[in-house]
Copies of this chain bind each other. A is one copy, B any other.
Amino acid sequence: MRVLGIDCGGECTGYGVVELDGAGELVCLACGAIRLSPREPLARRLARIYGELGAVIEEHHPVEVAIEEIFYALNVKSALKLGQVRGVAMLAAAAAGLEVAEYSPLTIKASVVGYGRASKEQVQHMVTRLLGLPEAPEPMDASDALAIAICHLHTAGTLEKQKVSIP
């Protein structure tokens, strides 16, 4: 199973494609971040996020998309900014016919580090270990996106197992 994780941000949006292979190993297929210039008009910035996420989907063929659930933000202004990016990211998934799963930051951290209040650095460290990467994925937005994808694979995996064990 192959999952695209997206970490939406007002200035920088991370993405990461992770596969759970036949041997039960997590493999990182791609990761990166889309940085937006505040000088570009907003509509064009959003079009770039949409285009780049679409290109990642077309190249790596994830079967599902996972995204962070957001309940809070610093303030209304940053929530609006984040919402705009999030809407476009979800649309990129829907345009490719993919389902979008949403996870709270707490669930993502608990799934990757085993502790819901883990720091960003702890998440990055565990993502690097779980994916067997030679070094930590940079920027932090990229490793956050990989964490979201891993969380979905863990959860989807657990659900699969439950399906099997409960006839």
Contact B93 A43 (CB under 8 A): yes
Cβ–Cβ contact B80 & A42, under 8 A: no
Report whether over half of chain A's contact residues are helix, strand or loop; otherwise say mixed: helix
User: Which among B43, B47, B71, B86 is the interface contact of A84 at CB below 8 angstroms?
Assistant: B86
- Chain B contacts for A84, CB-based, 8 A: 83-84, 86-87, 90
A99 to chain B, nearest CB (A): 8
A50 within 8 A of B: yes
Most buried by B among A47, A80, A85: A80
Q: Confirm or deny: A75 has a beta carbon within 8 angstroms of a beta carbon on chain B.
A: yes
Cross-chain contact of A79 among B42, B80, B90 (Cβ < 8 A)? B80
Q: Which residues of B contact A80 (CB under 8 A)?
A: 70, 73, 79-80, 82-83, 86
A window 35-53: CB within 8 A of B: 41-44, 46-47, 50
Within 8 A of B (CB), among A17-34: none
Q: Is A100 part of the contact surface with B, judged by Cβ < 8 Å? A: yes
Contact indicator A46/B90 (Cβ below 8 Å): yes
CB distance from A155 to the nearest CB of B (A): 17
Interface residues of A in 51-89 (CB under 8 A from B): 70-73, 75-77, 79-88
Which residue numbers of A lie inside 8 Å of B, CB to CB? Answer: 41-44, 46-47, 50, 70-73, 75-77, 79-88, 90-91, 93-95, 99-100
